[in-house]
Amino acid sequence: MWIIQLCIIILAAGLCGALAKRLGQSRVVGEIAAGLLLGPPLLGAMGSEAYHAVFSPGAAPIMAKLGELGLVLLMFQLGLHLDLRSLREQRRVRVPVLVALMGIACPFVIGCGIALLSLPVLAVEIAPLPYVLFCGVTLSISAVPVMARIVVDLGMTGTSTAAIALTAATLTDALGWLMLAVVAALSAGVLVWHDILRNVVLLVVFAAVSMLVVRPLWARLFRTAQTPAEVGRLLPAVFCYVMLSAWATSEIGFHSAFGALVAALALRDIPAFSREWSQRVDGFVELILMPVFFAYAGLKADLGSIPSDSFWPWCGLFLLGAIVGKFGGSYWGARMAGVQRHEACMIGSLMNTRGLMELIVLTIGLQLKVLPPAVYTMLVIMALVTTALTVPTLRFLARSKDGVRGAGVRTPAEVP
């Protein structure tokens, strides 16, 4: 039945993504919604017998492995497209740095506070410290790829607003992944700080070896490849390197996603490789593995995991904390750096985009067992809602009487 599952997942993600684009949203919003629609609370409730026949427990391990492979390759591709040069080239460095720091500090504090309140209700069987810290991290994350897609869709490319937001989001995600590394060490039962430090040092050493030793070797190897065919013959070795890098960080005590990210940073500045990977592999990841990842995330979401009278109030609190923390912190940081009020509002709206990065972080939390299923479901809903709010909020700000006229945001009629 895994073949039938795969067909349903790909079709659902494609249809929902196309519908989201038609409604003026980013495609990723529809893909996340497709995963939720395929989950037990919605599709399963409509026809439980047929649903359990198709999404049978026997096929679950296959989909889980495909989802894990998708997660590793998604992280690798995100790393390949991570624009670290923008952190050096941005002249107004003070603005994105303040936006990033305030945009991560405020939601982190709010997330930890909500986690402490919800601990006796939602996470009785979860280790308190990893759960509290993880909730803080999840509310702090922004999604650079989804933000970049929204910037292009709305015609904001080249504006100072987009440059500040994208640079700040890149820095925010870098800090977020560092904090997530510490949470991963805590979740592994490493509660002694010198053991945590040892694991972090091992991760830093692994990253240093990858960048200082492995990266030049790959660059030299690809320089010897003169034709696209010769470059293509190296791709199986690259694939094995990505998988082994993911395995290595998992063995150190962190998640495999960290290894994929390190591998991407080691290979991202090799143009010949990037072209061939984009032409030969990107399409497979986006067409097959990305829908599987989204659907598997939705299949693990369970709206009935706790009573409805408790679920929605806590879900609303997490959502409110995420919006207020990220938007308010980013807006505050921009204003502290001297940005005008309405441009600061647009920067805060862009920083509130979560999407794919949030789902990756949430999946890691579920796999590390620091996130209860109920809270996982709430945060998936939060990621979907905050991402869906970004585009209409930006359009509202652009249409407002006192809005920023130079931001270049297209109206709904102007968006293709």
**pLDDT at 281 (0 to 100):** 85
Question: ∠315-319-17 over CA atoms, to 5°?
Answer: 100
**pLDDT at 74 (0 to 100):** 78
Query: How far out from the chain centre does Cα 190 lie?
Result: 25
**pLDDT at 243 (0 to 100):** 94
- Core vs surface per residue 211-233: b (16+ CB within 10 A) or e: eeebbeebeeebeebeeeeebee
Residue 89: is its pLDDT beyond 60? no
> 237-256: per-residue pLDDT in tens?
999 999 999 999 888 877 78
The answer as to whether 29 is a domain residue is no
| pLDDT band, residue 411 (cuts 50/70/90) | very low
The answer as to whether 416 is a domain residue is no
Asked whether the beta carbons of 132 and 372 are under 8 A apart, the reply is no
The answer as to whether 120 is a domain residue is yes
Rounded distance between C-alpha atoms, residue 166 and residue 350, angstroms: 8
**pLDDT at 406 (0 to 100):** 44
The answer as to whether 116 is a domain residue is yes
Of the ranges 85-99, 153-167, 332-346, 396-410, which one carries the lowest mean pLDDT score?
396-410
Rounded distance between C-alpha atoms, residue 406 and residue 415, angstroms: 17
- Tokens 């427990």 found at: 57
Q: Kindly state the percentage of the chain with pLDDT values over 90.
A: 21
In whole numbers, what is the pLDDT of the chain averaged over residues? 80
Residue 277 tokens read as: 């990977």
Rounded distance between C-alpha atoms, residue 395 and residue 388, angstroms: 12
Of 56-60, 112-116, 309-313, 357-361, the range with the highest mean pLDDT is 112-116
Q: Which residue has the higher pLDDT, 88 or 126?
A: 126
Q: Which class for 81: exposed (0-12), middle (13-18), buried (19 or more C-beta within 10 A)?
A: middle
> 302-311: per-residue pLDDT in tens?
655 555 677 8
**pLDDT at 192 (0 to 100):** 55
Asked whether the beta carbons of 393 and 346 are under 8 A apart, the reply is no
Count CA atoms closer than 13 A to 199's CA, side-chain side: 26
If you count them, how many residues does the chain have? 416
**pLDDT at 112 (0 to 100):** 95
Q: What is the pTM of this model?
A: 0.74
Q: Which residue has the higher pLDDT, 116 or 71?
A: 116
Rounded distance between C-alpha atoms, residue 179 and residue 136, angstroms: 10
The residue range of the domain holding 146 is 91-279+305-407
> 273-326: per-residue pLDDT in tens?
888 888 888 888 878 887 777 777 766 766 555 556 778 899 999 999 999 999
The answer as to whether 167 is a domain residue is yes
The answer as to whether 63 is a domain residue is no
Q: What is the CATH number of the domain that holds 154?
A: 1.20.1530.20
Average pLDDT over every residue of 63-70: 80
> 158-214: per-residue pLDDT in tens?
677 887 887 788 778 778 777 887 787 777 665 556 666 777 788 889 989 999 999
The answer as to whether 61 is a domain residue is no
Query: How many structural domains does the chain have?
Result: 1
> 197-206: per-residue pLDDT in tens?
777 788 889 9
The answer as to whether 357 is a domain residue is yes
Residue 405: is its pLDDT beyond 50? no
| pLDDT band, residue 12 (cuts 50/70/90) | confident
Q: Of 397, 395, 394, 387, which is closest to residue 411 (Cα–Cα)?
A: 395
Residue 117 tokens read as: 């309140």
